[in-house]
Structure 1
């Protein structure tokens, strides 16, 4: 089964990198989220390829893909669906919302108010939605790829802490290098390259890979190391709120998924160190969180914590 996971990760990566040029870490972040059965938040300025990366993942997977453009007037029912009365049948009929898909692109998620953002909480944590007293399961696999503009931009809202905690990873895309940007321009001469991608992995293979990820070896000494990093966030004088147990579980699973992406069936300390900032920094609350630049400061605090914690030999 682990060989299936290695093959799945490799095919997805190679296919996505045909259009997501010069951003291997962004591609790997998306793969880690999918293999771990979780979700990813791409946080950066407009126009650097956040939506492109999400679409590349969706088109590489032979499943259902939907896109939700978050706006200030978007309602929870626009995402989840609603019951509509059928006069010809004299009964209510449920119309599924775009959340019923394998890959959901929540584009510019922080342009909708917190009430609408919170509509995804149950879906992202439990893979189901509850509407009018009825619970409906979402398709499997299920991954939300959300994009977010910096909170300093006009017309944006802060994501609630409970919403941020549902994302395994938060990462930036960043501007490309000049030579890579030249290749990007050339690749768009004959249309949108992402539209030419074909699926290379089935949903069944993804589910098999997710099962294999859970069997990746995680030595007791490394579990203790991971928990030491988690506990250090709770003891830090710079943080008002440290990492939760749910975050620790996500951290654990993310390290297993990263090992698979690196074609290993065991976790090494570098997996824990590499994922500390993207997995933990958006889950902590600074004591001076009212100040601007919260994100970079939180990332710096987590990075310093990882540097202080002793790595097992």
Structure 2
């Protein structure tokens, strides 16, 4: 399958008053056309920075120190002016966590659709898009302001706006976190179904591992600004390889053992990402040994997965290749 997105050796920092703070460190990833990738990890691990840089949305404090991003064979980091506007308008789209922060509170839903669609037939296209996400009462929705809709209705309107132009890549950053549990799966169902219909790839960022594992082709685990494991979703949910990924999954509700006790992930992620040699997870890892602090291993093949851990052979009885 042809690659749509290629990220290579990407290092991102943010300027502060005194120094640069690292957010991503030597991150590499490929995403195929039509593929759905889930990215998980604790807060502060770099997930949102990774999603932002794909759209060149880092802001003035963001610094790309190293690396490349290509989308459809084109260099994203070189985009500017009309080329960048076209890329954001037609090639990629975002769905964020809180629809009320995404929508303009001063404009009706209809006015926001009209701003997206310059064609004279914008109303009919908006009606069709709303129906696609289960909002068939367009006579109520289009003249409403965001605060007049429920959270679930507002998020569905956001999804309709994101997908109405049929982007080649949708980036969903915690798309169901602000929604009631009863409608989370229905929102994920419509997201994935519509992406499949238009052939769009999708990156889903979430803390909800069991939910996204049902929708993703692959899962990438981030820690301290790096991917520590990338694996097929069906293999990951059965047996993650990296100690951090193992601990994350074991701490999810539903993973209680025979004693009905849910395991906890001790400690916290580092407050800032260090570039010093060594595995960033070593201080929290039950498998750590002295060599873990000597150097950070690259992602290497381990069965169907790619894992960055020097203790794979000892933990799983299998060698990386």
Report the TM range for the smaller structure's normalisation: 0.3 to 0.5
Higher normalized strand content (fraction of residues): 2
> Relative contact order: is structure 1 or structure 2 higher (C-alpha 8 Å, sep ≥ 6)?
1
Instruction: State the structure with more CA Rg.
Output: 2
Please report the TM-score for the alignment, with normalisation by the length of structure 2: 0.40
TM-score where L is the length of structure 1 = 0.41
